[in-house]
Each structure stands twice: as structure tokens, then as C-alpha cells.
Chain A
């Protein structure tokens, strides 16, 4: 059960990290 929970947490964390990084790059390109 622990490994299943870790899998889902890792999946969500990776995508949240990617979304934040992508938003940050776009803000930088907009000159904000």
C-alpha cells in the first residue's frame, strides 16, 4: 500500500513541479 501511495504522490509532485517551472519560464519570457 505504501508503494502505491508513494507512486501517486510522486506522479502528482512531478507534474506540479513541471507546471510551476513552465509558468515561471513563461513569466520570464513575458519580462515579468
Chain B
């Protein structure tokens, strides 16, 4: 299997970046002009970057889960590349959430951090996927892809727990339902669309490293790597 980056990949990547950056800029512009929330004031605008980043985090780790299963089923290195790339992009989104969350909490709840269900489970999520990268980076053997895939599948267990934590445990400060005026809702929806596009563009960009690394590995060996041989059956 050739590890060269396909031509269409570059074209799609550029198109996605253009669309994503334009949409993110538009969402920032909408956020700046969105109505000021009566109780919290301007600090409520954090929600337009915090919530879309949280959704993108869950999607990214969901893709890692699906790609990890696909790798174990096919042994095609490209699925492992997608899993690792999506996990890294998801980590950046998760870090945005972990920083913007306390900034929101300080204004809304008068504390930087509290051990309420959503915050606690999200912190566990962040630590688990940080561990994914630490373990993956420490392995150089052929088992690296397999071990990474197992982590990508096992760690996924925490995603529905994060999602349902505000229903399963009492004492959650995160609201179950939020009522917004139409301008605020549109701003939030545009933000979600923008950051999902951004996720797609970042995933394609990060995947280029996997292509390059595999091409290098193949040229160093002079033969396809072990996973390549596996993929060929």
C-alpha cells in the first residue's frame, strides 16, 4: 500500500481550511454582536467557544474509537493514523474546554473549579486521552498501533459518562436545558458548525504527518512495514 499523500487530500485540506477559518471568523463576529446576557453580562460569550469545543472533543474521541476498531479489524495503518490524529486534535479541543470552563466558572459559580459531575468526568477524560499520547509516544515496536487502538476503544467508555453525568449524579451545576433568545442560539449553532469544519481541516492536516512517517518507515526498511504486510494479508 503506497504511503504517498493522495493529490485530492491536499485539495480537500485547503478547501476545508478556507471554509473552517471563514466560519470561525464569522462565529467570532456573531459572538461579538450577540445580545448581552442579563445575569452574567459579557462573560457569557465564553459559551460560544466552550460548548462547540466540548462537542468537537466528543466527536474527535468518537472518531478515535471508530478508527481504532477499524484498525484492529483490518490492520490497515491508515486507520491507526486517523485514530491517533483525531485523538491529538481532540486533545487540543479538550484543553480549550479545560481552560475556558474555569474562566466561566469563576464568573458564574464564584469558583475556578468544583468537583461537580461534568467537570470531574471531563477532567478524567482529559487525563485518559493525555495518557493515550504518552503511552503511544513511548512505544516504538510493532505493537504500538495495536496498543493505541485498544486504548482508543477502552477510553471511549468515559464519553457517554461525561455526556450523561449531569443526569446520573446530583449536584451538577451544568444545566440540562438552556433557553436562549434566537440570536444567541444562531450564534451557538454557527459556532458548532465552524468548529466541526475546523476539526475536519485539522484532522486532515494532522493525518499528513502519519502519511509522511509511514512513507519514511517504508523507505528506511525498503519493504512495507509490519502493519502494511498485515494489511496485505
Contacts and interface: CB of A to CB of B under 8 A. Distances in A.
A binds B: yes
Interface of A: 1, 3-4, 6-8, 10-11, 14-15, 18-19, 22, 25-26, 29-30
B42 interface: yes
26 contacts: A1-B41, A1-B43, A3-B46, A3-B106, A3-B107, A4-B44, A4-B103, A6-B103, A7-B46, A7-B49, A7-B50, A7-B99, A7-B100, A7-B103, A8-B49, A11-B96, A14-B92, A14-B95, A15-B92, A15-B198, A26-B209, A26-B212, A29-B209, A29-B212, A29-B213, A29-B216
Which of A3, A7, A25 has most B Cβ within 10 Å? A7
Q: Chain B at the A interface: mostly helix, strand, loop or mixed? A: helix
A-B pairs, 10 with minimum CB distance: A29-B212, A1-B42, A3-B103, A7-B100, A7-B46, A4-B45, A4-B43, A3-B43, A11-B96, A18-B92
A20 B90 CA distance: 17
Contacts of A7: 46, 49-50, 99-100, 103-104
A4 to B, nearest CB: 5
Contacts of A4: 42-46, 103
Interface string B162-181: 00000000000000000000
Contacts of B227: none
Nearest to A23: B205
Contacts of A25: 209
A14 B205 CA distance: 16
A7 B213 CA distance: 34
